[in-house]
Amino acid sequence: MPRINSPAELEELRKGILSKRDPNKPCITLCSGTACHASGSAEVAASIEQELKKQKLSDKVDFRMTGCHGFCERGPIVVIHPEGICYLQIKPEDVPEIISQTVKGKKVVERLLYTDPTTNKKIIHESEIPFYKNQERLVFGSNGKIDPKSIDDYLALGGYSALAKALSQMTPEQVLEEVKKSNLRGRGGGGFPAGRKWEECRNAPGEIKYVIVNADEGDPGAYMDRSLLEGNPHSVLEGLIIGAYAIGSHEGYIYVRQEYPLAVGNVDVAIKQAEEYGLLGKNIFGSGFDFTVKVHRGAGAFVSGESSALMTALEGKVGEPRPKYIHTVIKGVWDRPSNLNNVETWATVPLIINKGADWFLGIGTEGSKGTKIFSLVGKVNNTGLVEVPMGMTLREIIFNIGGGIRDGKKFKAVQTGGPSGGVIPEKYIDLPIDFDELTKAGSMMGSGGMIVMDEDTCMVDTARYFLNFLADESCGKCVPCREGIKQMLDILTDITEGRGEKGDIELLEEVAAMVKDFSLCALGATAPNPVLSTLRYFRDEYMAHIEQKRCPAYVCKELISYYIDPEKCQACMICLRQCPVGAISGGKNQIHVIDQTKCTKCNTCFEVCPPRFSAVRRLSGEPVPPPVKDRVLVRKKG
Partner 1 sequence: MVNLTIDGKAITAEEGTYILQVAQANNIDIPTLCYHPALEPFGACRLCTVEITSRGRKRLVTSCNYPVEEGLEVSTNSEAVIKGRRMILELLLARCPNVPLIQELAKNYGIKKPRFKLEDDNCILCGLCARVCEERMGVSAISFSGRGLDRKIDTPFHIHSEICQGCGACAFVCPTGAIKLEDITDKEPRPILSEFNAGLSPRSAIYVPFPQAVPKVPVIDREACIHFLTGNCRICENFCQAGAINYDQEDEIIEADVDAIILASGFDLYDPSALEEYGYGKIKNVITAMQYERMISASGPTGGQLQRPSDGKTPKKLAFIQCVGSRDTHYKLYCSSVCCMHATKEAILANEHYPDLKAFIFYTDMRAVGKRFQEYVARAEQEYNVTYIRSRPSKITENPDNGNPIIWYEETTARTRTSMEVDMVVLCQAMIPSGSIKDISDMLHLSLNDYQFVNIPDRLFQPVDTEIPGIFACGFCQAPQDIPDSVVQASAAAARAAEFLSKED
In the complex, what is the shortest distance from the CB of residue 296 to partner 1, in angstroms, rounded to a whole number? Answer: 19
Phi, psi torsion values for 525, nearest 5 degrees: -65, -30
Q: Is the dihedral of CA 617, 621, 626, 630 positive or negative?
A: negative
Q: Which of 196, 482, 557, 568 binds partner 1 (CB under 8 A)?
A: 482
In the complex, what is the shortest distance from the CB of residue 486 to partner 1, in angstroms, rounded to a whole number? Answer: 6
**Residue 574, interface with partner 1 (CB under 8 A)?**
no
- If one counts every other C-beta atom within 10 angstroms of the C-beta of residue 427, the result is 9
**Residue 327, interface with partner 1 (CB under 8 A)?**
no
**Residue 322, interface with partner 1 (CB under 8 A)?**
yes
Binding region for partner 1 (CB under 8 A) out of 94-102, 114-122, 483-491, 603-611: 483-491
Q: Which of 484, 500, 528, 552 binds partner 1 (CB under 8 A)?
A: 484
In the complex, what is the shortest distance from the CB of residue 321 to partner 1, in angstroms, rounded to a whole number? Answer: 9
In the complex, what is the shortest distance from the CB of residue 488 to partner 1, in angstroms, rounded to a whole number? Answer: 10
State which residue, 472 or 540, has the beta carbon closest to partner 1: 472
- Can you tell me the distance from the alpha carbon of 295 to that of 70, in angstroms, rounded to the nearest whole number? 25
State which residue, 45 or 523, has the beta carbon closest to partner 1: 523
- Can you tell me the distance from the alpha carbon of 370 to that of 106, in angstroms, rounded to the nearest whole number? 38
Binding region for partner 1 (CB under 8 A) out of 267-275, 482-490, 587-595, 603-611: 482-490
**Residue 42, interface with partner 1 (CB under 8 A)?**
no
Q: Which of 1, 8, 38, 326 binds partner 1 (CB under 8 A)?
A: 326
In the complex, what is the shortest distance from the CB of residue 196 to partner 1, in angstroms, rounded to a whole number? Answer: 15
Collapse the DSSP code of 122 into the 3-class scheme (helix H, G, I; strand E, B; otherwise coil) and give the result. strand
Strand 78-81 relative to strand 411-416: parallel, antiparallel, unpaired?
unpaired
Binding region for partner 1 (CB under 8 A) out of 11-19, 317-325, 579-587, 621-629: 317-325
State which residue, 197 or 372, has the beta carbon closest to partner 1: 197
Beta-bridge partner residues of 125: 85
Q: Which of 323, 408, 580, 611 binds partner 1 (CB under 8 A)?
A: 323
**Residue 8, interface with partner 1 (CB under 8 A)?**
no
State which residue, 299 or 581, has the beta carbon closest to partner 1: 299
In the complex, what is the shortest distance from the CB of residue 513 to partner 1, in angstroms, rounded to a whole number? Answer: 8
State which residue, 453 or 511, has the beta carbon closest to partner 1: 511
Q: Binding-site residue total for partner 1 (CB under 8 A)?
A: 32
State which residue, 213 or 511, has the beta carbon closest to partner 1: 511
Strand 292-297 relative to strand 616-620: parallel, antiparallel, unpaired?
unpaired
**Residue 301, interface with partner 1 (CB under 8 A)?**
yes
Q: What is the enclosing helix (H) or strand (E) of 56?
A: none
Q: Say if CB 621 and CB 575 are below 8 A apart.
A: no
- Can you tell me the distance from the alpha carbon of 61 to that of 43, in angstroms, rounded to the nearest whole number? 19
Binders in 421-480 for partner 1, by CB under 8 A:
471-480
Q: Say if CB 76 and CB 30 are below 8 A apart.
A: yes
- Can you tell me the distance from the alpha carbon of 143 to that of 226, in angstroms, rounded to the nearest whole number? 12
Collapse the DSSP code of 492 into the 3-class scheme (helix H, G, I; strand E, B; otherwise coil) and give the result. helix
Contacts by residues 480-486 (CB-CB < 8 Å, ≥ 24 positions apart): 480/514, 480/515, 480/518, 480/519, 480/520, 480/524, 481/515, 481/519, 481/520, 481/521, 481/523, 481/524, 481/527, 484/511, 484/512, 484/514, 484/515, 484/519, 484/524, 484/527, 485/515, 485/524, 485/527
Sequence-ordered list of residues with C-beta below 8 angstroms from that of 489, at least 6 positions apart, any chain? 464, 467, 468, 471
Q: Which of 335, 490, 547, 607 binds partner 1 (CB under 8 A)?
A: 490
- If one counts every other C-beta atom within 10 angstroms of the C-beta of residue 326, the result is 11
Binders in 506-565 for partner 1, by CB under 8 A:
507, 510-511, 513-514, 517-520
Q: Which of 426, 483, 497, 509 binds partner 1 (CB under 8 A)?
A: 483
In the complex, what is the shortest distance from the CB of residue 520 to partner 1, in angstroms, rounded to a whole number? Answer: 6
Q: Say if CB 430 and CB 393 are below 8 A apart.
A: yes
State which residue, 515 or 593, has the beta carbon closest to partner 1: 515
**How many CA atoms lie less than 13 Å away from 256 in the CB half-sphere?**
25
**Residue 213, interface with partner 1 (CB under 8 A)?**
no
List contacts with partner 1 (CB under 8 A).
301, 303, 318, 322-323, 325-326, 471-480, 482-484, 486-487, 490, 507, 510-511, 513-514, 517-520
